[in-house]
Amino acid sequence: MCGICGEVTFDGSAAGGCIAAMTERMHARGPDAGGAFMQDRVAFGHRRLSIIDLAAASQQPMVDPQLGLAIVFNGCIYNYRQLRSALAAKGFRFFSEGDTEVILKAYAEWGPRCVERFCGMFAFAIWERNSGRVVLARDRLGIKPLYYTERAGSFRFASTLPALLAAGDVDTSIDPAALHHYMSLHAVVPAPLTILKGVKKLPAATICTIEPDGRRREETYWQLEVGPRSQDRSMTEADWQDAIRFTFGRAVERRRVADVPVGVLLSGGLDSSIIVALLAAQGQNDLRTFSVGFETVGELKGDEF
């Protein structure tokens, strides 16, 4: 859980006047370190929670002068070691051991569609020095948040609404359409809407490209397909059990990628218990589990309902 934010200007003014306030507002999301990058019309801010590559070489914003790229990234790329090996075979040299730099190199090699190669959860922004272009992307299911607001002559983004509001000059009135969805769709507001009129959120599985003149385009790089597949029709109940066991186990194995101790939040249900069992079967040592409870729970009186 890190925090990213940024500002891009199109009216000739320098960006970055609001980055300090936005970054500080996300301190709780990244208590281990913070940083900022400013270059003329682009400014990035980051708060870090160190999980992969605890060394200073993986601090953000990360700049690669040789590639002419800068990035702020929130999330985890589970297959970054495999991607790193593939990129090293293509001649790329690395100065850190984490997944952030792998995104930069992958972007340099494969462009914005590099996201199709990532297994993980992510929201990031990349600045291209040579073109002045800024590219934002979000993971397939929208696990990592990315909010933005557009003003005359600028575009701002952040991991949280409070960080975006810290920059000021945002319409915070309630969006009637978003409120309608919230009250009728199990408290869900679909992207790009948010509950605030002046704030939008980048949809899941979306790449957003912002040109230096302010032109913006979005493309969806993945869609969930729901329905029966022809190869599934011959599967028996035992086949389905094996398939679920394999898929669940692979998902748990991928999420063991960390340079800090791994823990599990026990919800009291079967899913978290199965995760602990799979981690143990996969050889995870010194596993810590956590539960949330309350020592005292007050009783409500009838007239308090």
d(CA 153, CA 12): 8
Catalytic site includes residue 2: yes
d(CA 151, CA 140): 27
Distance of CA 207 to the CA centre of its chain: 13
The one catalytic residue in 2, 18, 76, 114 is: 2
Q: Is 222 helix (H, G, I), strand (E, B) or coil?
A: coil
Are 175 and 196 in contact by the 8 Å Cβ rule? The answer is: yes
φ, ψ of residue 158 to 5 degrees: the values are: -165, 160
d(CA 29, CA 4): 9
Are 193 and 177 in contact by the 8 Å Cβ rule? The answer is: yes
Alpha-carbon distances, residue 284 vs 53, 256, 287 (angstroms): 19, 8, 6
Closest CA to 123 of 257, 4, 256: 4
Closest CA to 20 of 202, 168, 209, 138: 168
Task: Give me the residues paired with residue 138 across strands.
Answer: 123
d(CA 16, CA 38): 6
Active site residues: 2
